[in-house]
């Protein structure tokens, strides 16, 4: 096999994965609280300890995806139980799979009076699951919740400690680090939601660019394949 086909083949596989990531990000541009993914590149050399095979261990690959936790634009809704966070903090939900971080912000009051996420999971305050009596709900910038001017609880706000990573799981949920810390410099805005941090204009330009690069790699692979076929044919004729 012509070893020259390896570079464009490796490039095409990497670019195809980049297209998947970009398409997923753009598809969630209207998803409240969505944080876009960024690919982290590496080489096959970093994943093998054996000898080089036709130089293939130097080819690129997408090693992992890292969420971009940058702030999204806040949008006014006027809904009492809509909550947007400005800063690095997360709300904390109690799910059947354990505690989960959450920035979706579209909260609800269920039939039992519990404050829950859009998935129906209880949201935690400093006292545990938050229970809301009937009445006018006011949530201040520090996350203090009052109903009919009587304080009920305070939203639990955590942040990811330096050096620790969390992963996206489920619908707008994130895993919780082993040692969560209380969020600082995080402001709560009632009646607002945080939009996705996807920039549709920039990401569409990137999508077009990567698509063209992918097409070039396909053409290179096709050219290499045709050269190999011609070489085989020539060998048969001479034989």
Average pLDDT by consecutive 10-residue portion of the chain (239 residues)?
63 82 91 89 54 55 78 95 96 95 94 95 96 95 96 96 84 89 93 94 88 79 68 60
Looking at residue 43, what is its pLDDT?
A: 59
3-state SS record for the chain? CCHHHHHHHHHHHHHHHHHHHHHHHHHCCCCCCCCCEEEEEEEHHHHCCCCCCCCHHHCEEEEEEEECCCCCCEEECCCCCEEEEECCCEEEEEECCEEEEECCCECEECCCCEEECCCCCEEEECCEECECCCCCEEECCCCEEEECCEEEEEECEEECCCCCCCCEECCCEECCCCCCEECCCCEEEECEEECCCCCHHHHHHHHHHHHHHHHHHHHHHHHHHHHHHHHHHHHHHHC
Looking at residue 237, what is its pLDDT?
A: 57
Looking at residue 225, what is its pLDDT?
A: 67
């Amino acid at each position: 096999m012509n070893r020259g086909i390896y570079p464009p083949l490796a490039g095409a596989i990497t670019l195809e994965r980049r297209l998947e990531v970009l398409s997923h990000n753009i598809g969630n541009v209207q998803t409240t609280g969505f944080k876009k993914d960024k690919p982290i590149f590496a080489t096959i050399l970093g994943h093998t300890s054996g000898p080089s095979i036709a130089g293939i261990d130097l080819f690129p690959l997408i090693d992992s995806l890292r969420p971009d936790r940058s702030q999204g634009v806040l949008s006014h809704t006027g809904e009492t139980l809509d909550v947007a966070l400005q800063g690095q903090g997360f709300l904390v939900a109690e799910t059947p799979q354990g505690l989960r971080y959450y920035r979706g912000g579209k909260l609800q009051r269920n039939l039992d009076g519990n404050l829950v996420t859009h998935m129906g999971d209880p949201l935690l305050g400093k006292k545990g699951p938050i229970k809301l009596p009937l009445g006018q709900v006011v949530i201040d910038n520090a996350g203090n919740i009052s109903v009919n001017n009587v304080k009920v609880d305070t939203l639990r706000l955590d942040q990811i400690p330096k050096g620790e990573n969390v992963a996206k799981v489920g619908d707008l949920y994130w895993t919780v680090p082993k040692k969560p810390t209380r969020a600082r410099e995080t402001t709560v805005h009632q009646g607002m939601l945080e939009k996705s941090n996807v920039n549709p204009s920039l990401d569409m330009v990137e999508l077009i660019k990567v698509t063209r690069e992918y097409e070039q790699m396909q053409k290179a692979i096709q050219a290499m394949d045709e050269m190999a076929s011609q070489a085989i044919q020539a060998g048969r004729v001479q034989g």
